[in-house]
Amino acid sequence: MTTQSLYFITSPSSSIPINNSNMLFLRTNNNNNNAILRSSSLSSRIESSHSSLNLIHNKIPYRGGGGRVSSTTSTPSKTSSLFTAVSARNNVSDNDKSLFTKSMTLFGSMWGSLGVIYILAKAIVRVLPIALEPFKKSSTSSLVLSPIQWSLYVTSCLFFAYFEGYKGFHLKFSPLVVRRSFTMVPGTKQGNNPINYLLAPLYSMGLFAATRKRMIVSWSISIGVTIIVAFVKKLSPVARCILDAGVVVGLSVGSMSILYYYVRSMITGTLPTIDPCLPIAIATVKTAKATKKE
């Protein structure tokens, strides 16, 4: 080996010459590697974005507030339960897990939303005969309304249709019921609790497993309606008929509103944009308070 060869090997600035074909080969390999990395990154983002809504659309609803939809995958709860055990078994394929999640989410949403409609329908059936009393042409019916009473009858229907049916149900209560009914997804805190599935209508109404403010509002409304019903029963037949007519219209509008939001969510895959009022973890509250103090 010559001195020139030794200098070439030991020199820090020396490099092995590469011809044009080798340079082209290296560039091609680098381009292929970059394309594979970009494709992998894109596919991971697409796969991550698919976990948004739920059910037929293969999406899982956001478990926080603000009516948003999370694009991150949910972390199963550490508490062991029937739903966690079944959905997280290692010997079950991903398709079977997805099928179980969809089935339980579908059951929870249907029982939650349609169960509330069933409760409202029972209340409508109870007071409907009294509200229709003036329309009966039977000789046994002694309830005959004067023109002024008929005007009050119509006013009651319009009043309850707007304030109870539209402003109360359609703008607030109905979207809340449907939004909460879709939060029972196996693997989440709400979906891992069998009580939520068993009492899905009450859960969807926000009577439990909700924020403190939501539970106060929901229980206040429920107790208030019970008191009003007991009070109305003691009124005269004419006054009770007029009020019951308004109640029937208001509850009917509310029932149709819940059905509308539920069917729309199933078809479009878009949940109502309303805060589901889920309880916030204690650790999150403490962290928020500590950050605020700083």
Domain coverage including residue 261: 91-134+142-283
56-96, pLDDT tens digit by residue? 455 444 444 444 434 333 443 433 333 343 334 444 445 54
131 pLDDT above the threshold of 60: yes
Is residue 62 included in any domain, yes or no?
no
Is residue 127 included in any domain, yes or no?
yes
217-253, pLDDT tens digit by residue? 999 988 988 888 888 888 899 999 999 999 999 999 9
Is residue 288 included in any domain, yes or no?
no
What's the number of domains the chain is made of?
A: 1
14 pLDDT above the threshold of 50: no
Is residue 43 included in any domain, yes or no?
no
Lowest mean pLDDT among 74-78, 163-167, 235-239, 272-276: 74-78
Is residue 194 included in any domain, yes or no?
yes
What does pTM read for this prediction?
0.66
Is residue 179 included in any domain, yes or no?
yes
34 pLDDT above the threshold of 70: no
SS (H, E, C) the chain: CCHHHHHHHHCCCCCCCCCHHHHHHHHHHHHHHHHHHHHHHHHHHHHHHCCCCCHHHCCCCCCCCCCCCCCCCCCCCCCCCHHHHHHCCCCCCHHHHHHHHHHHHHHHHHHHHHHHHHHHHHHHHHHHHHHCHHHCCCCCCCCCCCHHHHHHHHHHHHHHHHHHHHHHHHHHHHHHHHHHHCCCCCCCCCCCCHHHHHCHHHHHCCCCCCCHHHHHHHHHHHHHHHHHHHHHCCCCHHHHHHHHHHHHHHHHHHHHHHHHHHHHHHHHCCCCCCCCCCCCCHHHHHHHHHHHHC
| Confidence (pLDDT) at 138 | 66
Is residue 57 included in any domain, yes or no?
no
Is residue 178 included in any domain, yes or no?
yes
